[in-house]
Amino acid sequence: MIGAPQYLLTLYIAEREGGEEAPISPGYVADALDRSPPAATERLQNLDAKGLVDYEPYEGATLTAEGRDAAADLYDTYRTLSRFCRDVLGLDDHEDEAMQLVGNVSRTVAERLAATLLRGEADHDEADGSTETRSQSSPDTPAR
């Protein structure tokens, strides 16, 4: 189900990685989430009422400081879920699956999943005899 977390995350990704100029148009958000522009507009207006975005009709939405903080947490969870879906489950559409799950996984589960994934990498490195340490890399750029 697409809800507020996916909208916040889409805005965050567009601002942070996508090089989109703020404000982000409802049309862009609608396309990224496979929703209609009126549905995206309504959700952005709801997020504006909650203080998570600043929405300007005919312009678009910009994350507020509170919205950006919430979206940054969602982004960390999204990256972990995307990596799990790609590396463990072998899903080609790992980014779409992670986007669907992102608002439904607690921070505790995401942190433990990330730790498990890193532990799995360390076990793999030891089995290969590799002494090289891996950095935490993010999955491919999220689908928009």
pLDDT digits (tens, 9 = 90+) for 2-54: 789 999 999 999 988 766 667 999 999 999 999 999 999 999 999 999 999 99
Q: How far apart are CA 70 and CA 9, in angstroms?
A: 9
What confidence category does residue 90 fall into, taking pLDDT thresholds of 50, 70 and 90? very high
Domains of the chain, CATH where assigned:
1-109 (1.10.10.10)
Hey, what are 141's tokens?
Answer: 């750029």
Cβ neighbours of residue 142 under 8 Å, at least 6 residues apart? Answer: 13, 17, 78, 82, 95, 98, 99
Using the predicted structure, report yes or no on whether residue 109 has a pLDDT greater than 60. Answer: yes
User: Could you give the CA distance from residue 78 to residue 6 in angstroms, rounded to a whole number?
Assistant: 10
Cα–Cα–Cα angle for 49, 54, 55, nearest 5°?
85
- The HSE-up count of residue 59 (CA atoms within 13 Å, CB side) is 11
Q: Is the peptide bond before 57 cis (omega within 30 degrees of 0)?
A: no
The predicted model scores a pTM of 0.77
The SS3 of residue 75 is helix
What interhelical angle do 4-16 and 37-49 show, nearest 10? 90
